Amino acid sequence: MSSQKAEKNSEFARPILGHFIDGKLVNAEGRTSEVFNPATGQVTKAVALAGRETYEMASSAAKRAFPGWRNTPPQKRAQVMFTFKKLLEAHADELCATITSEHGKVLDDARGELGRGIEVVEYACGISELLKGEFSKNAGPGIDSWSEFQPLGVVAGITPFNFPVMVPMWMFPLAIACGNTFILKPSERDPSASILMAQLLSEAGLPDGVFNVVNGDKETVDLILEDQSVQAVSFVGSTPIAEAIYRKGTEYGKRVQALGGAKNHAVVMPDADIDNAVNALMGAAYGSCGERCMAISVAVCVGEKVGDQVVKNLESRVKALRIGPGEDTSNDMGPLITLDAYNRIHSYVERGLEQGAELIVDGRGFKIGGNEAGFFVGGFLFDKVKKEMEIYTDEIFGPVLCVVRVETLGQAMELINEHEFGNGTCIFTRDGETARYFTDNIHVGMVGVNVALPVPVASQSFGGWKRSLFGDLYVYGPDAIRFYTRRKTMTQRWPASDKTEQAKFAFPSGGS
């Protein structure tokens, strides 16, 4: 298979995807990285990796555009978002095909991703209501006080490969609707969808420079973090990188929200509807080839009988997974994103076996006729997993489900609460008291009851606890409005023109 290093391959001609800066495509020369079709394992294009000169073009464009966009009435900003929503729907097939060709996920999954992103755009259409401040008449004698929420300026988003449309739309629609200008650095693995969204925003009437896409790698990320013009950075990715971005960004005085890794547990209680629980686990563990930060990667079975039944039901279902190119909508699971991901999954499977886990379903050696070079694996199912094993402690980010057996709900919750990650979790039960106790006492940011993927709707906010989130505010929803704005409070008084007041040396209070 071809190398995936960020270097220019001169052996054959290939298109090079550039950047979108100040309302137009910019075809920058210099370093490039290969973009693969994961289903074939073949290079389809190269993407430019921005250096300082290209990045500064984007930063300057965003700075120039900010004053005019800041002073654009929120209702006009909302109209742009509404038109953008309609264009996203009109170009849904093109966007989803782009996602599938570069990420590998099945088309139906791509449509679901786009739909959840559009929900955030819909929420941003209500920005006039969301930006309303507060007013207090006669806060003191003849004194009125009010607050408003003002945009920060230039803000940036750094997004991962696994949701090339949805995760950027967790960020830029609300940032832009609040009056900021935006620089997006998408994953270099699947960058084309971001360029298409930028073009649609421009078609929707967004002024030049308000939204810019700069493709790149770590060098580009460092330029964003060091740029004094950038006031805030949103990031989604692995925990080590999230923590590094949070530390460096805050050192440079920026607001940072950095969402990191996950190890999401599903607790299956003895009273659960096992068939429905297994169906939910299949989609949550193996959908998108497990490359989701909300994927369920651990099933915690309470009681040996439950464990036996869950493993038996899962085994037949995992073996029956329909796996193939994402363009075929009859498939359940497509390929992994890269050869590196393929090798990493196999390495973890080997370590799981070495450390004593029982491999019930082995997805190694999976090949598809005509796509032998694709990054395909089958589903993996481990039983008898212990908490000290690496397949339990680490985020694998692949189609690997681990079954852990415990005797009580308390032991299940102890496992979850002790884990370094606290992104998502769920419980399958018919008992309301059990569900209420679990949701109230579990140390995780997003919790489902008989819902395996408890991703909040756009009017809520998305984020985890512990080492799954660095920063104080979640993405999208109400938290995003606070993240992308600053509160300003005004206090005003108009003394009578025919009266001279005496100086007062006591600290003022509301009653005087």
Q: pLDDT, tens digit, for every residue of 202-241?
A: 999 999 999 999 999 999 999 999 999 999 999 999 999 9
- CA separation (Å) from 432 to 195, 271, 320, 429? 47, 11, 34, 8
31 vs 340: CA distance, rounded Å? 20
Long-range own/partner contacts, residues 139-144 (CB < 8 A, 24 or more apart) = 139/491, 139/510, 140/493, 140/508, 140/509, 140/510, 140/511, 140/512, 141/511, 141/512, 142/493, 142/494, 142/495, 143/491, 143/492, 143/493, 144/491, 144/492, 144/493
Of the given ranges (26-40, 414-428, 457-471), which has the lowest mean pLDDT? 26-40
Rounded distance between C-alpha atoms, residue 264 and residue 454, angstroms: 11
CA distances from 183 to 13, 187, 287, 408 (A): 29, 13, 30, 48
Q: What is the mean pLDDT of residues 415-441?
A: 98
Give the integer Cα–Cα distance in Å for 49 and 27: 11
Q: Which H or E run includes 83?
A: helix 74-90
Options 3.40.309.10, 3.40.50.150, 3.30.930.10, 3.40.50.300; which CATH number does 264-449 get?
Answer: 3.40.309.10
Would you say residue 5 has pLDDT above 70? no
Q: What is the pLDDT of residue 21?
A: 98
pLDDT score of 501: 77
Amino acid occupying residue 172? F
Beta carbons of 349 and 394 less than 8 angstroms apart: no
Question: 53 in helix, strand or coil?
Answer: helix
On the question of pLDDT at 2 being above 70, the answer is no
Domain 16-260+468-488 has CATH 3.40.720.10: no
Residue 26 in contact with residue 53, Cβ under 8 Å?
no
pLDDT in tens, 132-183: 999 999 888 889 999 999 999 999 999 999 999 999 999 999 999 999 999 9
Kindly report the length of the chain.
512
Measuring CA to CA, which residue among 261, 299, 301, 293 is closest to residue 280? 299
Question: Which positions ≥6 away from 251 have C-beta within 8 Å?
Answer: none
Q: Is the pLDDT of residue 3 over 50?
A: no
What 3-state class would DSSP assign to 390?
Answer: helix
Domains of the chain, residue spans: 16-260+468-488, 264-449
Condensed to tens digits (0 to 9), the pLDDT of residues 467-496 reads 999 999 999 999 999 999 999 999 998 887
pTM, full prediction? 0.94
Q: Which residues of 2-17 are buried (b: 16+ CB within 10 A; e: fewer)?
A: eebebeeeeeeeeebb
Do residues 464 and 422 make contact, with C-beta atoms less than 8 angstroms apart? yes
> Tens digits of per-residue pLDDT, 389-410?
999 999 999 999 999 999 999 9
Nearest to 51 by CA among 243, 220, 229: 220
Cα separation, 45 vs 24, whole angstroms:
20
Q: Answer for the pair 380, 366: CB distance below 8 angstroms, yes or no.
A: no
User: How many whole angstroms separate alpha carbon 59 and alpha carbon 113?
Assistant: 29
The more confident residue out of 29 and 46 is 46
Cα–Cα dist 378/335, whole Å: 9
17 pLDDT exceeds 60?
Answer: yes
What values do phi and psi take at 201, rounded to 5? -60, -40
Return the pLDDT at 511.
59
Through-space distance between the first and last CA atoms of the chain, rounded to whole angstroms: 77
Scanning 355-443, the segments in alpha helix (DSSP H) are: 390-393, 409-418, 432-441
Q: What is the mean pLDDT of residues 497-505?
A: 78
Active site residues: 293
> How far is 242 from 469, CA to CA, in rounded Å?
8
Instruction: Identify the pLDDT of residue 440.
Output: 98
Please write down the HEC assignment for all residues of 139-200: EECCEEEEEEEEECCEEEEECCCCCCCHHHHHHHHHHHHCCCEEEEECCCCCCHHHHHHHHH
pLDDT for residue 500: 78
Residue 27: pLDDT band with limits 50, 70, 90: confident
Beta bridge partners of 361: 381
| 11 has a pLDDT exceeding 90 | no
Judging by DSSP bridges, how do beta strands 42-48 and 16-17 pair with one another? Answer: parallel
List all residues 6 or more positions away from 59 whose beta carbon is below 8 Å from its beta carbon: 154, 183, 227, 229, 230
From residue 160, alpha-carbon distances to 5, 64, 191, 462 in Å are: 17, 28, 10, 16
86 with 112: CB under 8 angstroms?
no
Which pLDDT band holds residue 442 (cuts at 50, 70, 90)?
Answer: very high
C-alpha closest to that of 196 among 58, 291, 96, 118: 96
Which residues have a Cβ under 8 Å from the Cβ of 414 and sit 6 or more positions away? Answer: none
If you average pLDDT over every residue of the chain, what do you get? Answer: 95
Q: How confident is the model at residue 1 (pLDDT cuts 50, 70, 90)?
A: very low
pLDDT at 278 over 50: yes
Work out whether the CA dihedral 240, 243, 245, 251 comes out positive or negative. negative
pLDDT over 70 for what percent of the chain? 97
* Helix and strand counts by DSSP (H, E) for the chain: 16, 23
Kindly report, residue by residue over 61-119, the tens digit of the pLDDT: 999 999 999 999 999 999 999 999 999 999 999 999 999 999 999 999 999 999 999 99
